[in-house]
Amino acid sequence: MGVTVGVNFLSVIHKSSNGMTLAFPDICKTPVPPAGPVPIPYPNIAKSSDTAKGTKKVKCDG
């Protein structure tokens, strides 16, 4: 079923919705011998299946 409910122009997701998003870059100083910390871009990956302590009662689409 397609997205029929939106909140702040985004779709509503839940732990079982199989959603995934990627944000890039997350620049972190990483130790690289012998030079020391070097800024390296890493991806941030978020999955709806990783939801912890999400709300238990939300009603959408009736």
Position 36 in a domain = yes
Question: Which residues lie closer than 8 Å to 12 by C-beta, 6 or more apart?
Answer: 3, 5, 6, 58, 60
Residue 32 lies in a domain: yes
Would you say residue 28 lies in a domain?
Answer: yes
pLDDT confidence of residue 54: 78
Q: How far apart are CA 41 and CA 30, in angstroms?
A: 10
**Residue 1 tokens, joined:** 């079923």
| Range list of β-strands (E), the chain | 6-7, 10-11, 20-32, 36-47
The residue segments making up the domain with residue 39 are: 15-50
In angstroms, rounded to a whole number, what is the distance separating the alpha carbons of residues 45 and 4? 25
Q: Please check whether residue 43 lies inside any domain of the structure.
A: yes
**Tens-binned pLDDT, residue by residue, of the chain (62 aa):** 566 677 787 777 777 778 888 888 899 999 998 888 999 999 998 888 888 887 788 777 66
Inside any domain, residue 41: yes
Q: What is the pTM of this model?
A: 0.49
Residue 46 located in a structural domain: yes
